[in-house]
Structure 1
Amino acid sequence: MKYLFIIQGEGRGHLTQAIALSEILSKNNHQVVGALVGSADGKNVPSFFTEKFQFPSFSFASPCLVYCKKTKSLDVRKTLTSSILKLKTYISSLRKINTTINQLNPDVIINFYDVLGGIHQFLFRPQAPMVCIAHQYLLLNPDFQHPKKHWLDKFLVNTNTHITALGAAKKLALSFTPFNNYEQQAIYTIPPLLRTEITQISPTTENYILVYMTQHTLADELIKWHAKNPKVMVHCFWDKPQNTEVFKYSRNLHFHRINGPKFLEMMQNCKGLVTTAGFESVCEAMYLGKPTMMIPVPKHYEQACNALDAKRAGAGITGNRFDLAAFLNYIPQHQDISSDFQAWHSRSSFLFLREIESIFENNNQISVDILGASMAGINS
């Protein structure tokens, strides 16, 4: 069977999931014909993705989140305004998506949470069924526990999630732990899709804290805390452009340019991880048995949900800012749940392939039922 990916390419999460899924499909004799990667400028596909994804990739402009420079928080108004102003650009992107689908002729389209992927499926109705994959689909499950008193944020995020899945045959919700399926909305829970490298390393513990922040503007909080705690060794990966691979702010506070293999190596040996509540980084820490402190980006509801759910699953604790005092106190008390998480993750290939195959089994059954009804009509 031939698969085409459509990927929301801002950040690394969905791209990393796509790489992991391409490896699963290839190992099970399926063919990945390419990937359409959406980003704010629609120009370049990240190099870390093209190096690992061994199939053709195509870029297109797609809506993305906009952050406030002053408050460092997600700016919903600017995000919506930016999307409206770029409407003509997104129409061109829809045409590009459609042309690529017609040229590659996939049997299945996998959408990793891209808005235009859902809109295209709804407007153009390609013959190939679309399956959506993301942690955000778990937020639509009535069993999921949302942060309290955030009804507007919940409405906006869930509306966006529904748009990404317009016309989808199934929504596969990546989850830290097993959840009941929500078949009324075709939401099925599967384990996280993690890069193969995470399963091939043996964790140890050295005396440093690893930090990952998706917004480099949040570094001010970490710097202020570290000025009062200079003896704590901290290695921080951030997205701020810099001339050197490592910026040594002080003797024990080093900022690293984002580098996938290097980050994984340092996570293997760290004492604990502090992160801005992204799904993949927390999953990797859980797999390796590393205590985690999750600090959602201000006003970023999805990350607030991630943090709350990861705490429920036993990943670690949550916080509001990069003050690591509470985390240092927590680390000795952390209970290692890596065995349970690894067992859950080991089912990812089986569960994904089962859910995909069932789509075609259902389609075949519908065809048989229609044929049987037609024959009955003829015989009568």
Structure 2
Amino acid sequence: MKLLFIIQGEGRGHFTQALVMQELARSRGDEVVACLVGKSEHRRLPEYFLSKMKTPVESFVSPNFLPTAQNKRPNLVKSTLYNLLRLPRYVSGMKFIRDKIREYQPDIVVNFYELLTGLTYFFISPQVPMVCVGHQYMFLHRKFRFKKTFSIPMFSLRFFTRMTSLGASKKLALSFYPMPDDYKRGIIVVPPLLRKEVMQLQIADGDYIHGYVLNSGYIEEIKKWHQAHPDMKLDFFWDKRDAPSDMAVDANLSLHRIDDKKFLYYMAGCKAYSTTAGFESVCEALYLQKPVLMVPVHIEQECNAFDAMKVGAGIVSDTFDLNKLLDYIPDYKKNTAFRRWVANADSLIFAELQALYDTMLYPANIPFSLNNR
């Protein structure tokens, strides 16, 4: 199969999932012909992604949140107005996607939650089938329940998620746990895509708290907590563009610019992990059996955190109050079933892609899903 990846370029989760799928595809003899990344002008593509994606990488301007002045939670009103003013550029992005599909002629387009991909399939209707991949498609599942199901933010999240998957042949919903497929909504539940490096790590119980924050404004909260608890060693990662690769604030607080190998090294050896509730890093912590403090930035991450609590990944907080995390550690119970679930990712995900590809070659009598769970 020839696959074309299209990635929503905010955060590290979608990049990591694409890298894992590329490696799995190559090991099976399939080909990733190119990778298109939708991003705002406020983000740059991470070096680890560019160095490991062994195929042409091209970017285009795509709708994204604008952070607040404090660089914490996204400002929905400003973001909406900003994106409306840039509609002509987004139309150009849709044409770019159409032209690249024609140029690379893939068998399947794999969409990692990029909005303009769904809109391209709705308005332009490329003939190549599309498969969507992401944890967010769990939120469309008929059996997914959230404490704020009828809230406006939840409605908006589900609406946005539907927009990313317009015209999709299948939606592969990455999940913390097995769940029946939702055939009516085209949703197939599959395990998370974790890097082989995660599975090969030697786990140790260190004396420090590891962390990751997408928006650098939260670092001030962490510094404030550290001032009151100077003896607790903290190693946090962030995406601040002009920061040095490693910065020692003092003897027990260090800030690191995001680097995938270094990030996993610190994850494997930490006492516990604190994050803004991105799906990918919570999965890594759960696999490495590290208790997690999740501080959601927006409704999507609130859903991630709510879902992660079902499998005992950790606790949720409105702030980076690491006292809560330290108090939780004695009550943390390791989830061994999660590791067995993750081990099935390769076979389950590529069975679905292969089934779709076979449908193109032999249209008769091909089942919607090959998962028999």
Shared fold, TM over 0.5:
yes
Q: Does 1:343 align with 2:352?
A: no
Indicate how the Cα distance of structure 1 residues 219 and 157 shifts in structure 2: closer, same or farther if over 3 A, else same: same
Q: Which amino acid aligns with 1:232?
A: M
- Residue of structure 2 in register with 1:127 after alignment: 127
Please report how far the alpha carbon of residue 257 of structure 1 lies from its aligned counterpart in structure 2 after TM superposition.
1.3
Once the two structures are superposed, the pairs formed by residues 254-269 of structure 1 within 5 Å of their partners are 254-269=254-269
- Residue of structure 2 in register with 1:5 after alignment: 5
Please report how far the alpha carbon of residue 142 of structure 1 lies from its aligned counterpart in structure 2 after TM superposition.
2.0
Given that 2:71 and 2:216 are in contact with CA atoms closer than 8 Å, whether structure 1 keeps it comes out as: no
Q: Which amino acid aligns with 2:181?
A: N
With 80-89 and 44-53 compared, the bigger mean Cα shift is at 44-53
Please report how far the alpha carbon of residue 245 of structure 1 lies from its aligned counterpart in structure 2 after TM superposition.
2.2
Q: Which amino acid aligns with 1:89?
A: R
Residue 193 of structure 2 aligns to a residue in which SS?
coil
Given that 1:174 and 1:191 are in contact with CA atoms closer than 8 Å, whether structure 2 keeps it comes out as: yes
- Residue of structure 2 in register with 1:355 after alignment: 352
Residue 34 of structure 1 aligns to a residue in which SS?
strand
Quote the Cα distance in structure 2 between the aligned partners of 1:59 and 1:322.
33
Once the two structures are superposed, the pairs formed by residues 209-288 of structure 1 within 5 Å of their partners are 209-288=209-288
With 233-242 and 171-180 compared, the bigger mean Cα shift is at 233-242
Quote the Cα distance in structure 2 between the aligned partners of 1:148 and 1:43.
30
- Residue of structure 2 in register with 1:40 after alignment: 40
Quote the Cα distance in structure 1 between the aligned partners of 2:104 and 2:187.
27
Q: Which runs of 5+ in 1 are unaligned?
A: 370-380
- Residue of structure 1 in register with 2:315 after alignment: 317
With 108-117 and 119-128 compared, the bigger mean Cα shift is at 119-128
- Residue of structure 1 in register with 2:144 after alignment: 144
Q: Which amino acid aligns with 1:177?
A: Y
- Residue of structure 2 in register with 1:377 after alignment: none
Q: Does 1:170 align with 2:170?
A: yes
Quote the Cα distance in structure 1 between the aligned partners of 2:102 and 2:285.
40
Given that 2:243 and 2:257 are in contact with CA atoms closer than 8 Å, whether structure 1 keeps it comes out as: no
Residue 173 of structure 2 aligns to a residue in which SS?
strand
Once the two structures are superposed, the pairs formed by residues 11-26 of structure 1 within 5 Å of their partners are 11-26=11-26
With 198-207 and 62-71 compared, the bigger mean Cα shift is at 62-71
Please report how far the alpha carbon of residue 151 of structure 1 lies from its aligned counterpart in structure 2 after TM superposition.
1.3
Q: Which runs of 5+ in 2 are unaligned?
A: 367-373
Correspondent of 1:303 among 294, 301, 309: 301
- Residue of structure 2 in register with 1:99 after alignment: 99
CA deviation map 1:256-297 (0-9, x unaligned) = 111111111011100010111000110000111111111111
Given that 1:43 and 1:61 are in contact with CA atoms closer than 8 Å, whether structure 2 keeps it comes out as: no
Quote the Cα distance in structure 2 between the aligned partners of 1:246 and 1:361.
49
> After the TM superposition, which segments of 4 or more aligned residues of structure 1 sit over 6 Å from their partners?
none
Please report the RMSD computed on the Cα atoms of aligned residues, expressed in angstroms. Answer: 1.8
Quote the Cα distance in structure 1 between the aligned partners of 2:286 and 2:128.
35
Once the two structures are superposed, the pairs formed by residues 182-193 of structure 1 within 5 Å of their partners are 182-193=182-193
What's the TM-score, normalizing by structure 2?
0.94
Q: Does 1:29 align with 2:26?
A: no
- Residue of structure 2 in register with 1:56 after alignment: 56
Given that 1:43 and 1:59 are in contact with CA atoms closer than 8 Å, whether structure 2 keeps it comes out as: no
Identity, % of aligned pairs?
39
Given that 2:111 and 2:132 are in contact with CA atoms closer than 8 Å, whether structure 1 keeps it comes out as: yes
- Residue of structure 1 in register with 2:327 after alignment: 329
Quote the Cα distance in structure 2 between the aligned partners of 1:37 and 1:301.
23
Please report how far the alpha carbon of residue 368 of structure 1 lies from its aligned counterpart in structure 2 after TM superposition.
7.6
Please report how far the alpha carbon of residue 77 of structure 1 lies from its aligned counterpart in structure 2 after TM superposition.
1.2
Larger Rg: 1
- Residue of structure 1 in register with 2:369 after alignment: none
Given that 1:43 and 1:60 are in contact with CA atoms closer than 8 Å, whether structure 2 keeps it comes out as: no
Quote the Cα distance in structure 2 between the aligned partners of 1:249 and 1:255.
7
With 255-264 and 158-167 compared, the bigger mean Cα shift is at 255-264
Quote the Cα distance in structure 2 between the aligned partners of 1:366 and 1:27.
26
What's the TM-score, normalizing by structure 1?
0.92
Quote the Cα distance in structure 2 between the aligned partners of 1:241 and 1:61.
19
Q: Which amino acid aligns with 2:309?
A: K
Quote the Cα distance in structure 2 between the aligned partners of 1:12 and 1:244.
19
Please report how far the alpha carbon of residue 111 of structure 1 lies from its aligned counterpart in structure 2 after TM superposition.
0.4
Q: Which amino acid aligns with 2:244?
A: T
Indicate how the Cα distance of structure 1 residues 109 and 304 shifts in structure 2: closer, same or farther if over 3 A, else same: same
